[in-house]
Structure formats: C-alpha cells, structure tokens
Amino acid sequence: MAQPAPSQSVGPLYRSDSQKPTATVSTKLEHDNVHILPQTPQLIALLTMIRDKETNRADFIFYSNRIIRLLVEEGLNHLPVVSQTVVTPVPGQKYAGVRFEGKICGVSIMRAGESMEQGLRDCCRSVRIGKILIQRDEETSQPKLFYDKLPEDIAERWCLLLDPMLATGGSALMAVEVLIKRGVPEDHILFLNLIASPEGAVSFAQRFPKVRVVTAFVDGGLNEKNYIVPGLGDFGDRFYTM
Ligand code: URA
C-alpha cells in the first residue's frame, strides 16, 4: 500500500526554510544497502520534469539522462580504490590520490534498462555491457528469463545492473540470480535505478543484503497494477516510443 511521502523545504542552504518551497522528497529506508541520492534542489527539479505527464519525449530523455549520470557517478563511488600518487606539472609537486582497481561491466534489464547504458558509457569509456530479458510468463504470471548475453569473464567484474524503475522487484531479483549463477559475488553487484517502491527496495534488501541498491528516490508505493505511485508512468514507453 502507498504511504504518504515526506515533505521538506527545498532550495539553497543560504536560504531559510521559510524562503524555500516545500516538495515531496524520498521516503527514507532503514536498510544499509539501499543508498538514496541526496535530495538536492537539482535532483528534485529533474525528477519533477520527468514525472510531469506533459513533458515531451525529448525532454523526458534529456532530464532522465541527467539523473542517470548522477546515479552512475554515485554507483562508481561504491567501488573500492587503491592509493595512487602522481607527479603534477608544477616542479617538485606530487599529489597523493587514488585510482579504481578492478574491472566493471554494465548489465541492462531489457528494454527500459537499455536507456541507462549511454550514461554508463559516458563515465566508463568502452565499458562492456551485457543484457538480460525477463518477462512475465503468461501462464504463471511469474517473471521468466527469456534471454541473457553477458561478458564471458563476468565473474571477475563488478556489475552495475541497470533498470530505471524498481517496482515489485521481480525482474531485478531474477537478474541478480542469473548473475550469481554466473559466478558474480553478491557484494560485487550494484543495482542502479531512478525510482524505487518501498516494497521493491525492501524485498531486495532482505533477499540479497549484500547487493547495493543506488536509487534517486523511494516513492510512496505501488498501485493495483504494480505501477509505482506517484511514479512517472511507463518509463520504457516514455523514453522509447511515446
Ligand atoms: N515500470 C515502469 O516503467 N513504471 C512503473 O511504475 C513500474 C514499472
């Protein structure tokens, strides 16, 4: 059942609460492996654009891509790094920094997850991307795996699983099972999505406590057709066909 989502004043820090408008912000969840992006004015404005049913397809794609970029950047923050010191062009100067050590790949859950591939490529040049197609079996109403094509060495990679909407979680849970069967350790999987339902996020956290879910927003809940509410409608249709 949908819960009333919290309201918060939104705007730059230098303004007092009375000078800022209120907006609905993400529901908070008590699960360590669910990471919700900071509810900044930028993020709330971008989400407002893509939730609006009057937003045309070009704008929907543009603003979704901006959120996807934020999700990918945050997802990459969850990967381990090692020390790296570099010499700067300024004579005698060094900088003690870090670099990411390890191989990654993206895995998109078709079709909507494919919309997130470019955002991953923009951050990780020539990243390998696998695909998984899961659809509801008409007889059993259960999710069924129809197709998967994954990098051969996926077991040695950190996997960024891509699907913009985490509703019941049925497809994403099955996708994680596929990755684990192919040898990917559970704690090497990050699931990136734009909007999650509390039900979907919690069932994920309970079933796979080591998979990190990185989401922009946890919404109020699901309606009787398993659409996220207030949500944004069918993400794949709005990104690809409407
Ligand atoms: N998939 C969508 O595109 N939207 C929802 O609300 C739920 C699943």
Question: What per-residue confidence (pLDDT) applies to 3?
Answer: 65
pTM recorded for the entire structure: 0.94
127 closest CA partner among 102, 90, 147, 146: 102
177-226 per-position pLDDT tens digit? 999 999 999 999 999 999 999 999 999 899 999 999 999 999 999 999 99
How far, CA to CA in Å, does 30 sit from each of 33, 36, 75, 88, 104? 9, 11, 19, 43, 28
Whether the Cβ atoms of residue 227 and residue 2 lie closer than 8 Å to each other: no
Determine the distance separating the centroid of ligand 1 and the alpha carbon of 228, expressed in angstroms. Answer: 6
Mutate to test the pocket of ligand 1, among 111, 135, 219, 232 (most ligand atoms within 8 A of CB): 232
- Pocket lined around ligand 1, Cβ cut-off 6 Å: 112, 165, 167, 227-228, 231, 234-236
Give the percent of the chain with pLDDT over 70.
98
Whether the Cβ atoms of residue 173 and residue 121 lie closer than 8 Å to each other: no
The single-letter DSSP state of residue 238 is I
**ipTM value of the model?**
0.95
Determine the distance separating the centroid of ligand 1 and the alpha carbon of 12, expressed in angstroms. Answer: 31
Using pLDDT thresholds of 50, 70 and 90, give the confidence band for residue 112: very high
Question: What per-residue confidence (pLDDT) applies to 239?
Answer: 98
Using pLDDT thresholds of 50, 70 and 90, give the confidence band for residue 75: very high
**Averaged pLDDT of the chain:** 95
Q: Which domains does the chain have, with CATH numbers?
A: 10-241 (3.40.50.2020)
Determine the distance separating the centroid of ligand 1 and the alpha carbon of 93, expressed in angstroms. Answer: 51
Question: What per-residue confidence (pLDDT) applies to 142?
Answer: 82
Mutate to test the pocket of ligand 1, among 223, 234, 237 (most ligand atoms within 8 A of CB): 234
Question: What per-residue confidence (pLDDT) applies to 136?
Answer: 80
Question: What per-residue confidence (pLDDT) applies to 90?
Answer: 98
Residue with CA at minimum distance from ligand 1 atom 3? 234
Using pLDDT thresholds of 50, 70 and 90, give the confidence band for residue 2: low
9-41 per-position pLDDT tens digit? 999 999 999 999 999 999 999 888 999 999 999
Residue with CA at minimum distance from ligand 1 atom 4? 234
